[in-house]
Amino acid sequence: MKIKAKLKKKNTNKWDDDYYTKLARKENYPARSVYKLKEIDKKFKIFKKGFFILDLGCSPGSWLKYASEKTGEKGFVAGVDLNTSKIINEKNIVVLKGDIFDSEIVENLCSMGLFDVVMSDMAPKTTGCRHTDCARSCALAEASLDISFKTLKKGGIFITKIFQGGDFDSFAQTILSFFEKRKIFKPESCRKNSREIYIIGMGKK
């Protein structure tokens, strides 16, 4: 019985020592997700010094931290999340605690002015049901896109995570209606069995 208990505990933490998790600890990022954004930035040249950036669902703060580093002291990074307790404070970062589906939160984001980049790495709580999980992921992506309509300047860039399946194709097509270019990209740092993929809208019309 003791052996089984130990094996179960070890399996529960199977991701704790993967390459990107170790690298995140070494480079002082809150989570391994930062390397997905780094890959996106390297491939599509997203960030510039002085950019204003909005991070939707920003906890635990890896994307915020990277965006802060890239935009520099003259730039500004805003984030919003239901849980802000673990986020590292930086001089050019402001974080709102709240729900992106809350109209008051959206109004507060709009009052900050227009952003050069709006990005979301949000994912739903998974149920194990592919249809349900894809639908919930698409709902988050659609909400993020809706916020980008209100907060992204002309020519700006939109990045969102979304699960493949369900309404993915329809959502991807929608991006072309509002942006000059659309890129679909799966970073190498995504887990091999993950359905997540990233859609990048470039050049808001």
From 55, 131, 67, 134, select the one nearest 100 (Cα to Cα): 55
Q: Please state, in angstroms and rounded to a whole number, the distance separating the CA atoms of residues 112 and 109.
A: 5
Preceding omega of 60 cis (within 30 degrees of 0): yes
What amino acid occupies position 36?
K
Q: Are 193 and 152 in contact (CB under 8 A)?
A: no
Q: Please state, in angstroms and rounded to a whole number, the distance separating the CA atoms of residues 98 and 76.
A: 19
User: Residue 49's CB: how many other CB atoms inside 10 A?
Assistant: 10
**Residue 192, CB-side half-sphere exposure with 13 Å CA sphere:** 3
Out of 65, 70, 161, 204, pick the active-site residue.
161
Residue 10: active-site member: no
Q: Are 77 and 55 in contact (CB under 8 A)?
A: yes
The catalytic site residues sit at 161
